[in-house]
Structures are given as C-alpha cells and as structure tokens.
C-alpha cells in the first residue's frame, strides 16, 4: 500500500533522508599507515610520492598524460591560462555550473554563451559554428551530468576554424565512449574529484592533454608559475593536490568501474519507470556512450505532469527525498554576464526552468530507487491535491 504523501499528511513517508549526493570513500584503515607516514615525515603536499603515483595511475586509466590538482576549478583555470585566452573569446554553454564561465573570466577571456542540443544537453554544433569569429580563442565543451560532448563534431569545428577545443568534463570522470574512459579529447580536458562527484577525493581534480608543451605550462602554472623553483614568466596559482587526496583516489580507482556500472543501472531504472508518466522528458546520450550520471535530470512539463518542477521538489522534500534544481539559473542571465544583451537561448532557458536532478549514488539500493520513483508516481496521481495544499500554504 502506498504511503500518504508527507506534504499532505504532515508525516514523511521515509525517516532517513535521501540526499542529492552520497559520496563513497575508502575505509581510513586502508590508508592509515600511509597517512601516518606522511604526517610523520612532513611530506603532505608539494608533489609527494602519492600524488606522483596517483597521476601515473590516472594516466593509465584514461590513456593520456595527467596532472593532479587541488580542485577541478583549479584545473579548469589552469587549462585556460595555459592555452592563453587573454583578451579573446571562449564559446561555452550557458547550461552549465557557473564555474565554467568564471574560469574563462579569471583567465582573462570573455565567455560567449551558446545553446545546447535539446537531446544531449551538450553544446549545439550549429550554434557554436555561428558564434565563431576572429576573436575566438577556444571552444569549451561541458560534459553536463556526465554526458560526453560531441567530440568528433567539436574537434572538426576546431580544425576548420583554427581554434582550440577544450573540455570541462568536471562531472564526467569514468564516462565511456566506444567502450573506453574519456580523456585526451581535444587540446586538453579537465575532471573534478569533488565530494559531489562519482569519483571523489574530497577535493581534487585533474588536467589531461596529449600536448607536451601545454602539459609543461600547466605543470608550472599549478605551482605559482614556477619551474625548478624559478619564475617561468606567467602568473600561476597554488593548484597542487595534497597527499591525502591522492591516497583516497588511489584506493578508489581500482573499484571505480563498479560504481559506473551501478550508476548506469540506476539511470535505466529511473528512465524505464518514470517514462510511463506524462509530462516528463530526459536527456538522451548518443549511442555508444555510457555516462557516469552525476545526477539523473528530468524535465517536468507542468501542463503534462500537472505540477511544476518547484512543486515536485517541494513534495519530494516533504518525504525526505532531496533533489536539486540543477541548473536553475542559466549562466547567460547571471548578473555577471548579462552585459545588456537580450540574446535568447531557448533550449537552455526551457531546461533551467523545468529541470529537476534526481539522486544517483555509487551504492544506491533498489529500495531507494523504488521509493523515489513511487513518490513521483504518487505526486503525479495526487497533483490536484498537492497544488491546492501549496496554494493554501502560500495564501
């Protein structure tokens, strides 16, 4: 028997909270000796042995030379600085986290916002081509929710117009295209290992490139712009990964493919079950792609479903299911980037108005998936009552 909706009854149907993210970390016992040794010797940062080993293991996993960073944002900022976008434009999607355009601005470039493909939610190739000008330094694709960009299409545009092609793959570490983990596409690519990501080192990130010169510049930039302790000629930052993050990453990596498989299963369960309800739409990765699924995004048409995205989120929260309106503010409409322009990005604006991201965990149970699905089904079935309750609450 279906439990009453918590929003209507005043009592949550589930006592334990299902958060939007639930990171998994190794047991501290598994690296306690290494941590104690690092603390005893004082080798806790500055390219220590675990960071070096982690970089080698990451390079083997993605098949491309890799640098470890203190965060994905530090890696992204460094990648753009290493390419040198100062005084030029970088084409980016507006349907992304604000970290993407912020990194462009930090590196001295100007973000130029493009719309996304309505199926994959990654950069629309036609939009990108229309925006390329002599001022364009780079195209910066974003692997939103872990869905890989159209690498072949973007790289063809880069070759045709002579611009760099970069990838903000912050949530996509582990995503597979044609059976292999993504990495090494375009001129450079970054990943985030933040605690919200499927592969988490608490904080952390990586920069991946097959360009030895770019790799050397990035290596110097993450260490204050120094090489062999001497100034190199560019203003850098402190982007070095600490040893403890590398220790955690090294324990996670051998088992990470299990997490990918589970997250794929979770996404299939959501799509199959929720696809029976009216008014719901889902992102559709291209054939041959296995995304890591940071979250499972659902676009909720208020007319077809009977309730708005915000109403559904409120009703789920009343039953201790915490979803995320991600992304609920398109970057091109943020105060920092409006610049008086009125250019519309219809796909981006539609999705940011209606999207709700459902939880996906490495260790998500069938019971947890089933509960979330059942709650959404119940919310739809009682849409009129939910709407009356919410209106009465506001009044």
Between the CA atoms of 205, 209, 215 and 217, what dihedral angle is there, to the nearest 10 degrees?
A: -80
Q: Based on the domain organization, do 45 and 157 belong to the same domain?
A: yes
Q: Based on the domain organization, do 176 and 301 belong to the same domain?
A: no
Domain enclosing residue 294, as ranges: 6-24+255-394
DSSP codes of every residue in 155-223 = HHHHHHHT-EEEEE-TT-TT-EETTEE--S-SSEEEEE--TTSSS--SS-EEEE-S-HHHHHHHHHHTB
Q: Is 46 helix (H, G, I), strand (E, B) or coil?
A: coil
pLDDT at 2: 79
In a domain? residue 305: yes
By the 10 Å C-beta count (0-12 exposed, 13-18 middle, 19+ buried), 353 is classed as middle
pLDDT at 342: 61
Q: What percent of the chain has pLDDT over 70?
A: 98
Between the CA atoms of 93, 95, 98 and 104, what dihedral angle is there, to the nearest 10 degrees?
A: 0
Confidence of residue 41 (pLDDT cuts 50, 70, 90): very high
pLDDT at 235: 85
Number of separate domains in the chain:
2
Q: Which CATH number does the domain housing residue 183 bear? A: 3.40.640.10
In a domain? residue 304: yes
Q: Which CATH number does the domain housing residue 277 bear? A: 3.90.1150.10
- At 326-359, the pLDDT tens digits run 999 999 999 999 875 568 999 999 999 999 999 9
Q: Which residue has the tokens 């605690």?
A: 195
pLDDT at 176: 96
pLDDT at 338: 84
Between the CA atoms of 52, 54, 60 and 66, what dihedral angle is there, to the nearest 10 degrees?
A: -70
Final residue belonging to a domain, choices 225, 254, 283: 254
Confidence of residue 170 (pLDDT cuts 50, 70, 90): very high
Q: State the pTM of this model.
A: 0.96
In a domain? residue 326: yes
Q: Based on the domain organization, do 96 and 228 belong to the same domain?
A: yes
Q: Based on the domain organization, do 177 and 290 belong to the same domain?
A: no
Return all residues near 148 (Cβ < 8 A) that are at least 6 apart: 122, 169, 172, 175, 177, 182, 285, 286, 289, 291
Strand partners, 67: 207
Q: Based on the domain organization, do 20 and 71 belong to the same domain?
A: no
- At 98-149, the pLDDT tens digits run 999 999 999 999 999 999 999 999 999 999 999 999 999 999 999 999 999 9
Mean pLDDT (the chain) is 96
């Amino acid at each position: 028997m279906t439990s009453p909706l918590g929003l209507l009854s005043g009592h949550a149907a589930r006592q334990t909270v299902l958060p939007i993210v639930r990171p998994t970390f190794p047991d501290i016992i598994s690296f306690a000796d290494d941590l104690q040794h690092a603390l005893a010797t004082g080798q806790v940062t500055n390219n220590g042995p675990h960071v070096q080993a982690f970089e080698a293991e990451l390079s083997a996993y993605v098949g491309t030379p890799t640098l470890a960073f203190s965060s994905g944002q530090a890696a992204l900022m460094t990648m753009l600085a290493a390419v040198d976008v100062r005084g030029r434009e970088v084409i980016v999607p507006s349907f992304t986290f604000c970290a993407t355009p912020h990194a462009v601005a930090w590196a001295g470039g100007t973000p130029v916002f493009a719309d996304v493909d309505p199926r994959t939610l990654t950069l629309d190739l036609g939009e990108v081509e229309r925006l390329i000008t002599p001022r364009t330094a780079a195209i910066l694709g974003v692997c939103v929710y872990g869905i890989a960009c159209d690498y072949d299409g973007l790289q063809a545009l880069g070759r045709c117009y002579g611009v760099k092609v970069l990838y903000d793959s912050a949530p996509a570490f582990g995503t597979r295209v044609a059976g292999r983990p993504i990495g090494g596409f375009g001129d450079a690519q970054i990943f985030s290992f933040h605690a919200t990501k499927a592969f988490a080192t608490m904080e952390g990130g990586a920069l991946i490139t097959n360009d030895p010169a770019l790799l050397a510049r990035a290596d110097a930039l993450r260490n204050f712009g120094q090489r062999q302790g001497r100034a190199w000629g560019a203003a850098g930052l402190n982007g070095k990964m600490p040893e403890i993050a590398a220790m955690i990453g090294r324990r996670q990596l051998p088992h990470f493919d299990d997490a990918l498989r589970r997250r794929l299963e979770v996404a299939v369960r959501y799509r199959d079950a929720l696809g029976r309800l009216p008014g719901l739409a889902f992102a559709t990765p291209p054939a041959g792609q296995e995304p890591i699924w940071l979250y499972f995004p659902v676009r909720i048409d208020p007319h077809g479903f009977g309730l708005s995205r915000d109403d559904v989120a409120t009703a789920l929260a009343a039953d201790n299911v915490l979803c995320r309106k991600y992304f609920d503010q398109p970057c091109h409409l943020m105060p920092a980037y409006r610049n008086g322009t009125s250019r519309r990005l219809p796909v981006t604006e539609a999705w940011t108005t209606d999207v709700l991201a459902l939880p996906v965990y490495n260790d998500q149970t069938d019971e947890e998936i089933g509960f979330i699905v059942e709650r959404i089904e119940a919310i739809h079935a009682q849409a009129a009552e939910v709407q009356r309750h919410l209106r009465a609450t506001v009044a």
